[in-house]
Structure 1
């Protein structure tokens, strides 16, 4: 039954987090273990409270990683560190997670949600089409060749260059004002 739960419930969440055209922010406090940690790894940005700990303890119960951790974690921290986390099942605290690139920012626990909300508001006010295209290009580059990455950049840059947001940004730059993005 646990494998059925992973395939039926957890894997669709991971797929959606990665494929979603909007930036996904994970705010992590306390322990993030197993699938909970995997969801955080699948986010685009991770903010950790000082109490956050990440744990991949599957080996302790005779299992391997699930919910996409074998895909996402090495892309964040490298193959060697991911292997170490999964084989040794030792928790990684917030400051170490920041040092190795597992999280983008560490804040006091009491400021975690307000920091995540402020970041979400900043992103929501930005060029959301460009953010979707950034995710698309990075995904193509992560799994492809240099030529795949160059083609994805060409295509996504052309898509963004045709948006109202790009025209607005150019006009704002020329007129020395802040742009007002509309997501088109």
Structure 2
């Protein structure tokens, strides 16, 4: 499925969303924000999609929100729409990977940071550019940065609005892998194939537990883990994992609910 500003490609359970406004370095205008919101909503309810890649066309990832776009929508509604997209991405019940080539700036960088894993090329560059535009952080940056790198480094990147390269972003734990440009497509394909082959319910539970763990007490985290494991044991994947281990074969995970259903007498 394709669209003028967002290309959507599905392959063996892996969906790739490609921001397709290369003349604007894939800056996101209101129509594209709306398309992203609707596409992420649909993706989260499609059990055939097991992993998601977010990337950009034309040698850039995303230069942020398109401030030059003609749009007289009140800023409150603009930011509300962006917030909806940020939450959908964060809460998506499947692994997400940002494939970054070129610039990732402002909300564009936070779009990448909102994914579970980030793969970049050595030529990629990153900036929390907001202060240079007379703005403060948005698209989750004020929450993501301190969690990922601590408060002091987060303040440095946000207050100075410096541009850093992929090597420094990797050293700060803001990029998971740095891969040479000619190899990044194959690397991401292999990575997402591995993610898509995993047990979908268990991976969704693990992602949610990790996302929520930083804001919970140990007691609350343990209670969440208990509930998640009860759900996992109700799937066919738990039985399949043990059977595959015993047979020394690769498991095939479906996410199918296998717990016996109660009988109802009328």
Normalising by structure 1, what TM-score? Answer: 0.93
SS class of match (2:168): helix
The match for 2:102 is: 30
User: 1:60 aligned to 2:132?
Assistant: yes
Shift of 1:111: 2.1
- Partner Cα separation in structure 2 for residue 150 and residue 183 of structure 1: 23
- Partner Cα separation in structure 2 for residue 45 and residue 2 of structure 1: 33
The match for 2:203 is: 131
Checking the alignment, whether the CA contact within 8 Å between 1:56 and 1:89 is kept in structure 2 is yes
- Residue correspondence of structure 1 range 29-178 to structure 2 within 5 A: 29-178=101-250
Structure with max Cα Rg: 2
Shift of 1:114: 2.6
Shift of 1:12: 1.6
Shift of 1:139: 2.2
Of structures 1 and 2, the one scoring higher in RCO (CA 8 A, sep 6+) is 1
- Partner Cα separation in structure 2 for residue 2 and residue 27 of structure 1: 32
- Partner Cα separation in structure 2 for residue 81 and residue 2 of structure 1: 32
Count of aligned pairs between the two proteins? 184
- Partner Cα separation in structure 2 for residue 39 and residue 157 of structure 1: 30
Checking the alignment, whether the CA contact within 8 Å between 1:6 and 1:67 is kept in structure 2 is no
Of 1-10 and 147-156, deviating more is 1-10
> Which runs of 5 or more structure 2 residues have no equivalent in the other structure?
1-72, 257-266
1:106-159 deviation per Cα after TM superposition (whole angstroms, max 9, x unaligned): 101222233222211211111111110011111221222111111111111221
What's the Cα RMSD here? Answer: 1.6
Q: In 2 relative to 1, CA 158–119 (structure 1 residues): closer, same or farther, beyond 3 Å?
A: same
Q: In 2 relative to 1, CA 6–102 (structure 1 residues): closer, same or farther, beyond 3 Å?
A: farther
Q: In 2 relative to 1, CA 30–118 (structure 1 residues): closer, same or farther, beyond 3 Å?
A: same
Larger helix fraction of residues: 1
1:38-75 deviation per Cα after TM superposition (whole angstroms, max 9, x unaligned): 11111011111111111012112222101111111222
The match for 2:7 is: none
- Partner Cα separation in structure 2 for residue 104 and residue 38 of structure 1: 14
SS class of match (1:32): strand
- Partner Cα separation in structure 1 for residue 82 and residue 109 of structure 2: 12
1:16-53 deviation per Cα after TM superposition (whole angstroms, max 9, x unaligned): 11011011110111110111011111101111111111
